[in-house]
Structures are given as structure tokens and as C-alpha cells.
Amino acid sequence: MLDNPSQLLLRHEVVTPATLLVNAQDSLSRQQSCRAHFYYANLYHHFAADNDSFAAELDPQLFQTSVDQAVLYVPKEKSLCRMLFDNLAAMMPEDATLYLVGPNKGGIKSIVKQLPASFSPAQKVASGNHCLLYVCQRNATQVAPFKLDDYQTTYQLPGEPATTVFNLPGVFSEQRLDAGTALLLEYIGAQPKIHGRVLDFACGSGAISAFVRAHCSIDAIVASDVSAFALATTEQTLHTQQLDSPFEVLASDGLDAVTGRFDWIITNPPFHSGQRTDYEIAGKFISEVAKKLKPGGRLLIVANSFLGYNALLRERFREVSEPLNNGRYKILQAHKPC
């Protein structure tokens, strides 16, 4: 079943075999025999065709070979949209067509008004399925080559040695260390028991991985996430540390691509789906995580205090503790799987 934006594209016969679907959300590229670029590994693994791609940047050669127009599934984050517009402008030739599609309530009405000067003003093409479809053209305005580094922000982790975290639009806590992760790092720093092989699940920009590498005696760390933007920033965050402990940055839909077992698994898992609390990601993770722990291995989670993870953990582990709770966030530790 195609998502509503793709159904609107089909109804108005927008997609041709020479179309590039950017920020693809479903299997439309398979159905229409066109190209698609995914930014999220779960969608890529479920829906991608053989020629589709997954990365934080678009392949600049596409418009020189098999593509003559693009469709952008407009994300809600305005800063991410601006970055994607610039990426497209840097690779699209003059007069090439760009369609913009998205849900009515996803911010598309305001986002189309923020197109950069390299595109003509967007014109509304159609509405339906609770979505809107616009079109614009690449004009003659010259733009610089696209570089992800130009969109990075940085912040420093607390303590010594000095550790810089890199981030990009579309990645959790883009501008600063979030309060939940800060509490987790404070807890780890006060009693650095983390050792052996470590998994940082839903790693975001790599703040947890970087702190653990800097402050704990570990053998290796694996940082996994579903987002291509998160993986790119984690890679740079950990590479810049220049520490001896090996690391791996892994695209994974949940734990699907994670191999081997770990002495510690640490996470600040996402819990939002749009505006509502969604236990699906964390619930699935908790139901599967025990099989990824070594004998004696431990799980360490930070979460908003109101989230009911304690009960979920007790369904899977014989020992669950809450060693820290500051009223807003809590630290949970679990071991001895049922």
C-alpha cells in the first residue's frame, strides 16, 4: 500500500521512469520503475528497488545519466528541508522540474514559501488524500557545490578530554546536548563501569558513543541508527576523537543488522511519532534486546520519567533497577533476561 503522498503523485501522473524520488517513503519506485533515494534505513530495507540508494547525500551524477526531474517528499523539519533543497539545486540542471509533495499538516504550505533563490516560485498542482502537490523549476542561479560540512553544527560534551559532537539537520538534538542524554552521561561518568563490547542503539549524533570511548575502558563500540544523517554525524564525531578503541557505525532497522553480543547496550530511544507518544520502537527494542547481550550483560536506558519502560523491562528481565530519577528523566538498568 502506497502512502498518501505517493497516491497523489500517481493520480496526477507525475512520476516517469526518469524521475528521482527524494526522501522516498514507500515502494513507488518499484511500481513506476524509477529511481529513489532514501534517508532512513528502515524504509530503504523494506521498499528499495535494486537501483535505489541510501545515504546522507544525493549522487551528483544522477541528473547527468538517468534522471531529468525530481520529487521531494517534504520533511517536517524546516532546517532539513533547506539542506535538501540546496543538495538538489547543486545537482539539477537549469529548467529541470522539481515536485514537492507532503501532508497538509506536515508544514508543506510554509516550506514551499522558503524555496531558495535557485528555484522558481512553487505553484500548486493538486490536492487530495490530505496532501498537497507543488511544482517548481531550477533556474539559472549559480550555486556552490553541495557539502554536508556546511550544514553541520557542533557542541562540546562535558568533562575532559574535550569532545566535539557534530550534528546535522534532521538529527535528534541538533543544536545542543539534550537533557536526558546529559543525565545519562553524568551517571556513566560518576561510576564508569561500562566495559567490553558496547552497543549504542539509536546513536543520533554519537554523543553517548563518544563519551563512553573517552571515559570508559571498552574493547569496542558499535553505534547504530536508522538515519543516514545520524550515521554521517556519528562517523565524524567518533573519527575526530582520534582514540584507540575501535568503533563501527551501522545502519540498522532496530536490531536487525546488529550482529554479535554485547557486554553493555546503552540507549536514549526515540518515543515520538509525530505529536504522540509511541512505544513501538522502544517496545520492539526491549522485546529483542536480551538476545544481543552476553551472559552477565547489562542494558542501560535513559527515558522521560513518565514513560512506562519499567514495566516493559520487567517482562523481559529478572532484575530491573532505577538508580537515578531527577523528575524529568530516569536511568533504568536491566540484566538477567527471563
Quick one: 145 exposed, middle or buried, by C-beta within 10 A (0-12, 13-18, 19+)? exposed
Predicted local confidence at residue 242, as pLDDT? 87
Segment-wise mean pLDDT, segments of 10 residues, the chain, 338 residues:
95 96 97 96 95 95 89 96 97 96 94 95 96 98 96 93 95 88 95 93 97 96 97 97 94 95 95 55 90 97 93 96 96 95
The rounded distance, in Å, linking the Cα atoms of 39 and 251 is 11
User: What CATH superfamily is the domain 4-137?
Assistant: Vaccinia Virus protein VP39 (3.40.50.150)
Fold equal for 4-137 and 152-337: yes
Delimit the domains of the chain by residue range: 4-137, 152-337
Assign domain 152-337 to its CATH architecture.
3-Layer(aba) Sandwich (3.40)
Quick one: 245 exposed, middle or buried, by C-beta within 10 A (0-12, 13-18, 19+)? middle
Predicted local confidence at residue 271, as pLDDT? 67
Predicted local confidence at residue 272, as pLDDT? 47
Predicted local confidence at residue 278, as pLDDT? 59
All cell numbers assigned to 160: 575532559
Which of 32, 35, 102 minimizes the C-alpha distance to 67?
Answer: 35
In the chain, where do the E strands start and end?
Answer: 19-22, 35-38, 53-54, 69-73, 97-103, 123-128, 131-137, 153-156, 164-167, 196-201, 218-225, 247-251, 262-267, 272-273, 276-277, 293-304, 317-325, 329-337
Predicted local confidence at residue 275, as pLDDT? 42
Quick one: 117 exposed, middle or buried, by C-beta within 10 A (0-12, 13-18, 19+)? exposed
**Length of the chain counted residue by residue:** 338
Kindly give the residue spans of alpha helices, DSSP state H, lying in 290-331: 309-314
Kindly give the residue spans of alpha helices, DSSP state H, lying in 154-226: 179-190, 207-215
All cell numbers assigned to 240: 575526530
